[in-house]
Amino acid sequence: MEILKLIESDHHIIQVKFMNVEKNSLFVGDIFQTISSMNVNIDMISEVMLEDEMRIDFTCSQDDQKNLDRALSLIRSKHPRMQIYQNRQVAKIKLESHEMKDEVGVAAMLFTLLGKHQIPLLQVTTSEVSISCVIPLEYVDLALSEIQNEYK
């Protein structure tokens, strides 16, 4: 495949996971309003709908750690049932190309390639022209190398 125009990585991120989130748009809106009010710039957001609740993951820059901690403290006090986890030992890799929207199998190739090297996918977001993955920091160089080899 020769469609890939951009491969980038960001080693300077925090992944935040919210567990036991109420399935209610106003509840979710309040969470993100609290984060926004502390001037934290969120990058990737993904959610998983479970039977009685949801899980929400997002990423932000490590530069926002102080403000993030203040926001999470407020969220914990307002929503004590939720479990909140942070992980700084992660990185984001991003594949991007406008040609991806017309190319079949890009995600399949990426996930298979990462799987062959036992690189865990901690979070994935996509658009028509990009795939972003959060992976453990220790695998970033291997992942980038293998992706670049695949897309010579």
8-51 per-position pLDDT tens digit: 899 999 999 999 999 999 999 999 999 999 999 999 999 999 98
> What class, spelled out in words, does domain 13-87 have in CATH?
alpha beta
* Each residue's pLDDT tens digit, 44-100: 999 999 988 999 999 999 999 999 999 999 999 999 999 999 999 999 999 988 888
Which CATH number, 3.30.2130.10, 3.40.1190.20, 3.40.50.300, 3.50.30.30, labels domain 6-11+90-150? 3.30.2130.10
Q: Tell me the HSE value of 81 on the side-chain side, using a 13 A CA sphere.
A: 7
Q: Which amino acid belongs to residue 4?
A: L
The reported pLDDT for the residue numbered 4 is 58
Asked if 11 and 137 touch (Cβ cutoff 8 Å), the reply is yes
Q: Sign of torsion, CA 18 22 25 27? A: negative
Asked if 130 and 99 touch (Cβ cutoff 8 Å), the reply is no
